[in-house]
Structure 1
Amino acid sequence: MSDQQQPYVTVFNSALETGVRSLVILTANFPDALDLQRLVDFDYLVVHSGDVGGPESLHPPLPMREGELLVRRRIIESGLSLMMSRGLITRIAHAEGIVYQASDYAKPFVDSLATPYMLLLIEKANWVATTFSNMDTSELHKLINGFFDKWTTQFHPSQGLGGG
């Protein structure tokens, strides 16, 4: 392979991207530890904060983005593994299951990230932590399931349009 040729690598929807977002979310929630489902939910809320009346979303409001919830969990798991391998996230066996917590190295690392995108990401993660960290799990699931309901209705034809 020459110096000009590089393997195809994507940053978007990668373990690196979701790992950094998870790290920022866990840092914003520190010292609380979060289970995987809450991390998935918070990740969606950080990226699409405008969907719930929060600050402008981090990513553009693309159609059908609710479908992201279907694939997000696996990608976040990969990102968590990457950040754990670097000592930035700790996995803890808890009575209710596995939870994740920012390590002692997380905040200094996150604070060193100063691009405009990272500053917005940190801002959104802090907003999500402040707004939703005390929300009961069932309430959070009801909120998130509202996205699924909206998404699935986009696939059903409207009643009374063209027959049967």
Structure 2
Amino acid sequence: MHDVPISAAPFNSALETGVRALAVLTEASPRALDLQELVYFDYLIVHSGDAGGPTSLHPNTPLRNGELLVRRTVIEQGVLLMVSRGLAERLLRDNGISYAATDEAAPFLECLASIYTHSLRDRAEWAMQLFGGLDKDELKSYFDTNFERWTREFQSAVSVSDRLL
């Protein structure tokens, strides 16, 4: 019955990444996003501080830019979980598969009242306002350009803290 494996741990699980994807898709509506765009927007809402936005939703960790490479699978599992619950839909297009929020997505998100969910939705709105007008190639270019800088900045901060110890 379950097509999507669900982890018992909620942090970065299919459920959490699915809710994050749903927040992005709801803000993007009626626009549909493909999986790679969802990966980019997931990074932007989790690490919004890296992109000059509000404080990051999750703590800054070393090599967090590698998350773009490893999160794709769990984000796909998450969005498929949302599809299986009728909160998102999978669209087959000439250029591949994309996902869109259904009419039930926004009311579902409204029912989630935690501080985390409100922060998540604020960051999804911020990310879509700032980056929603970019096409996939422009998003890729943005990440390619900034990844090196983000890595250098984090390594510099770690080096300074190591010297202070």
- Please tell me the TM-score bracket, short chain as reference: 0.7 to 0.9
**TM-score, with normalisation over the residues of structure 2?**
0.83
Report the CA distance between 1:80 and its aligned residue. Answer: 1.1
Write the mapping of 1:22-61 to structure 2, written as runs, cut at 5 A.
22-61=21-60
Cα distance in 1 for partners of 2:50, 2:101 equals 26
Match of 2:163 in 1: none
Structure 1 contact 22–80 (Cα < 8 Å) conserved: yes
Contact 1:64-1:151 within 8 A present in 2 as well: no
Determine if contact 2:29/2:101 at 8 Å carries over to the other structure: yes
Distance 2:126 2:150 in 1: 25
Unpaired runs of at least 5, structure 2: 1-6, 156-165
Summarize deviations over 1:86-133 as a string: whole Å, max 9, x none. Answer: 111100112221110001110100111111110000000000111101
Distance 2:144 2:102 in 1: 31
Calculate the TM-score normalised by the size of structure 1. Answer: 0.83
Question: What SS does the aligned partner of 1:138 have?
Answer: helix
The structure with more helix, counted as a fraction of residues: 2
Give the partner amino acid of 1:75: V
Q: Within 2, Cα distance between the matches of 1:51 and 1:130?
A: 16
Question: Runs ≥4 in structure 1, deviation > 6 angstroms?
Answer: 151-154
Aligned pairs, number: 147
Give the secondary structure class of the aligned counterpart of 1:58: coil
Residue pairs, 1:1-164, within 5 angstroms: 9-150=8-149
1:19, 1:76 within 8 Å by CA — same for their partners in 2?
yes
Identity %: 53
Bigger Rg, which one: 1
1:161 aligned partner: none
Match for residue 4 of structure 2?
Answer: none
Q: Secondary structure at the match of 2:61?
A: coil
Is this contact kept in 2: 1:49–1:58, CA < 8 A? yes
In 1, distance between residues paired with 2:106 and 2:14? 19
Deviation at 1:81, TM superposition (A): 1.3
Q: Distance in 1 between matches of 2:27 and 2:33?
A: 11
SS in 1 for 2:98: strand
Matched AA of 2:54: P
* Secondary structure, counterpart of 1:61 in structure 2: coil
Structure 1 unaligned blocks of 5 or more: 1-7, 155-164
The SS at the match of 2:90 is strand
Q: CA deviation at 1:152?
A: 7.3
CA 1:119–1:104 in structure 2 vs 1: closer, same or farther (change >3 Å)? same
CA separation in 2, counterparts of 1:67 and 1:19?
20
